[in-house]
Amino acid sequence: MADAKPVKILFCIDSLARGGTELQLTGLIDRLDRARFSPHLLTIRPSDPELTPDHCPHLAWNIPRLLSPKAVWSIIQLNRYLREENFQIVQTFFQDSTVFAGFAARLAGVPVRLACFRDLGFWRTRSQALLLSSVYPMMTSFLCNAKIVKQNFIEHDGLRPDKISVIYNGIDIESLPWVEHQGPTLHIGIVGNLTRQVKRTDLFIKAAGIISRQAKYSNITWHIVGDGQLRSELEALAQDEGIAQQVVFAGRISVVSEYLEKLQVGVLCSDSEGFSNALLEYMLKGCACVATAVGGNVEAIKDKDTGLLVPADNAQALADSLLELINDVNLRRELAARARLFCESGFNWEKCVNEHQAIYLKTDPLL
């Protein structure tokens, strides 16, 4: 079908921010084969204009509430737009966009309607679950970024396993060159937006406090990379733990990979996680990893092989594992080296994009 027009895909997400899901979406859009696919983007909340992908038409709508007259009217408008522009695929991210665009795509008769799951539904309330349960039957298939995420939605929402595909995150390996961290362990960090309690940056600070109460570890610097409304609360916690002088609140960093060159150990201590970009970036940059044994972390980290896993919500366990790496530099370096090899073998943008495009070609009845 050499003369066939590119398949039109509308990607819909709540907004664009510097988060893992948002950056995965824009990375996918940037890398799609334009000879085969014509991506368009719809955001339903205000977004960071710097993150808008190049060469991709962008509909910047503002729908603050789904249950409102404006939202109903916008669904009618989107229905009309999808019909007039002859979209073949609609792909949604996050719950509000899935409700909004999923319903409109079904009304418009878009043949392929994909919903993406990228966490374990920590945000779920009874009302949200009820609303989504009415929309999921309207979707033709689903994408997850980890096997455990797939299993979670099968168990909680009764979705058919054969309708759910797993595609791991894309990562730009070339932009994350290996760093051989020499010497003692003096720089330990955590990367993540300070906007959600579920990320448990407070646990990182408490573990740092436990360790730093021993005088011989008072020279360790603890780095917190990210920003958000929880920052003042976390700064106060660092003060209470007596480590304010040892904690660096680096704020939002535009090139995180460069900052990671300072760190010998990277921490991810969330209570719930899908599949973390930050974890992959640690692993590729030579940072030995300590992560909670939740969500997709257990698919990226093999305990005592490519990193250390700890139970969630346990500051003492986190501190104990960090002390292992502080006191055993050879272990730290061995874990980091194996983690890099593991990431190189299974996670890259070419693989991620090819698997998405295969799904599009397989499910589109026009191809």
- 329 and 273 part of one domain: yes
Q: What is the mean pLDDT of residues 124-147?
A: 90
pLDDT-derived band at 19 (thresholds 50, 70, 90) equals confident
Domain of residue 195: give its range: 173-346
- 129 and 200 part of one domain: no
Model pLDDT, residue 182: 81
Q: What is the mean pLDDT of residues 6-21?
A: 92
- 180 and 149 part of one domain: no
- 99 and 205 part of one domain: no
Helix (H, G, I), strand (E, B) or coil at 43: strand
Nearest to 221 by CA among 250, 245, 252, 253: 245
- How many domains does one find in the chain? 2
- 16 and 135 part of one domain: yes
Round to whole Å and give the CA distance between 263 and 44: 37
Answer whether 308's CB lies under 8 Å from 336's CB.
no
pLDDT at 364 over 70: no
- 213 and 65 part of one domain: no
- 141 and 254 part of one domain: no
pLDDT tens per residue across span 83-98:
999 999 999 999 999 9
Within a domain: 122: yes
Q: What pTM did the predictor assign?
A: 0.86
pLDDT tens per residue across span 198-254:
999 999 999 999 999 999 999 999 999 999 999 999 999 999 999 999 999 999 998
- 51 and 135 part of one domain: yes
Tokens representing 246?
């040892």
| DSSP notation for 244-286 | TTTEEEEE--S-HHHHGGG-SEEEE--SS-S--HHHHHHHHTT
- 146 and 250 part of one domain: no
Model pLDDT, residue 366: 43
- 337 and 194 part of one domain: yes
pLDDT-derived band at 121 (thresholds 50, 70, 90) equals confident
Q: Which residue has the higher pLDDT, 358 or 48?
A: 358
